[in-house]
Structure 1
Amino acid sequence: MTSGIYAIAHIGNLKLYVGECNKLSQKWPPILSQLHHGTYPHSLLQQTWNTQGDKRYFTFHTKEEILGDPEIVGVEELLAEVAS
């Protein structure tokens, strides 16, 4: 998989943490490792992980997966914010 936009969804409070990277297929395992060790650089996501922290509440999605889900409300606005 190539570079692109991804989102980490927190199922418990319906928040998306959006990022951009190279090699999307290799991104999720290192993020999980950082979250488990308390070293993820996004403080709000790390804090949420620490307080509610089981990975079953968090899922990883690519931009294509998000765009392909018609039930996600406001996806166009979300992607416009990421682009700016």
Structure 2
Amino acid sequence: MGLFAPVQREDGRPVCSRKNCRAPAQWQLLWNNPRIHTPERRKAWASCVDHRVWFEEYLMERGLWKETRPLTADRPMETR
């Protein structure tokens, strides 16, 4: 596991990125900071159902949000 890899549960599923939340992640929020990232670069935060809206609003208010995708076995966390 890399230094910045998402935290995972014992079953291998990513955990929500919200501070102090250990719920299984069901969403990935792709974002980019245009001041420091190239346009094609995507960072990702994992989110549980309860924190999805919080993450989207946080990223949208700062002009960083790009896309929200389901986090499933056939679609793992995406970063590029």
TM-score range, shorter chain: 0.3 to 0.5
Taking structure 1 as the reference length, the TM-score comes to 0.34
Taking structure 2 as the reference length, the TM-score comes to 0.35
